[in-house]
Amino acid sequence: MLSKACLVGAYQTKLEEIARFDDVELLVIVPPVWLDPAGPVALERSHTEGYRLLADPIRFNGRFHLHYYPKLKRRLAEFRPDIVHIDEEPYNLATFLAMRQAKGVAAKTLFFSWQNLLRRYPFPFSWMEKQVLAGIDAAIMGNQEAVAVWQSKGYAGPHTVIPQFGVDTAAYRPPAYRDQGRGFVIGSANRRLVPEKGVDVLLRAAAKLPGIWRVQIAGDGPERPLLQKLSHELGIADRVQFDGPIPSAQMPGYLQQMDVMVLPSRTRPNWKEQFGRVLVEAMACETAVIGSDSGEIPHVIGDAGLIFPEDDVDALHAHLLQLMQSPDLRDELGRKGRARVLDRYTQSQIAAQTVAVYRKMMAE
């Protein structure tokens, strides 16, 4: 498996779960560091039991479309895999080269895609994309809309919808208790505070609530000064707390203290919510969730939370008021949320579904 995403230690638990299957021998190749525009992501060797994790250099580090692994051909010749799982979009150079090099050792290939918008790329990426779609053996899509995107671009092969990673339900679990005397706590947690995350909609909806409540906002980014200004304009600055980035190890405790977690994403011409990982993390903590109808959010939440139309402040306000006034409904949605995560979104569930794809590829 090639996966720069697996630099993150918490995500490596999926790899351990995959490696638990008796018929799987797993080698995972990652870069030593990924120079992400939001900041470097260095390799964390946190969960490495049962498989090999190699850190190989990449060229054009930080360039999503152009990076690739120059040592991959040699690694494939040494390991002789049956399947090469390319954890990259099909229009990337890394995917195209890995597919071609895998054929050199008679290995089957699959790609992973979050892409839920129909985009057209210039040459040579359009050419590489076409080659990959014609030559790949299987695909894993991270959301429902990605299936339609790639089929419209000519992909006719087998596909399965599986999120890239699951949730560690031992870490993300219900708290021992929630202090009912602290008021109604509304949460928002994003890595980046940007307009498409719709936090301004949350502030406008919360501003109309009666009683004792507060909003806690995790994350940082260009939208933060504007959101702080908006909270002053709405007269709720003393009820809104900007917590900045929350380390991944502290995120379970952060979500456990919330009464409701809100993801009010809004679709843009170049962006649509691809999954909304914080939703399943909150659901695993039995925290009630509310999401907009952007992209994959309704599919993730199902009947275990509340959905409102994008940018509809009044609809979001009504949901918040309903949950504020009904602890029983909050508890019911919290229980449904954790049950949904245990059924669909644990790392072991994601690993099992992924191995099922591998087995089907080998059978075919």
Nearest to 310, CA basis, from 295, 293, 297:
293
Residue 249: per-residue pLDDT: 81
Specify whether the CB–CB gap between 186 and 323 falls below 8 A.
no
Distances in Å between the alpha carbon of 60 and those of 57, 94, 114, 201, 305?
10, 10, 22, 38, 42
Mapped to the 3 state alphabet, what secondary structure does 322-339 carry?
HHHHCHHHHHHHHHHHHH
What's the distance, Cα to Cα, between the start and end of the chain in Å?
A: 20
Distance between CA atoms of 110 and 86, rounded to whole angstroms?
6
Distance between CA atoms of 154 and 157, rounded to whole angstroms?
9
* Diameter over CA atoms, the chain: 67
Name the token pair of 297.
Answer: 């959010």
Residue 257: per-residue pLDDT: 94
> What is the tens place of the pLDDT at every residue in 72-113?
999 999 999 999 999 999 999 999 999 999 999 999 999 999
> What is the tens place of the pLDDT at every residue in 49-72?
999 999 999 999 999 999 999 999
> What is the tens place of the pLDDT at every residue in 294-320?
999 999 999 999 999 999 999 999 999
Residue 179: per-residue pLDDT: 73
Structural domains of the chain, with CATH: 4-166+346-363 (3.40.50.2000), 180-344 (3.40.50.2000)
Specify whether the CB–CB gap between 318 and 209 falls below 8 A.
no
Q: 123: which residues sit within 8 A by CB, 6+ positions away? A: none
Q: Which has the minimum average pLDDT: 2-6, 58-62, 163-167, 289-293?
A: 163-167
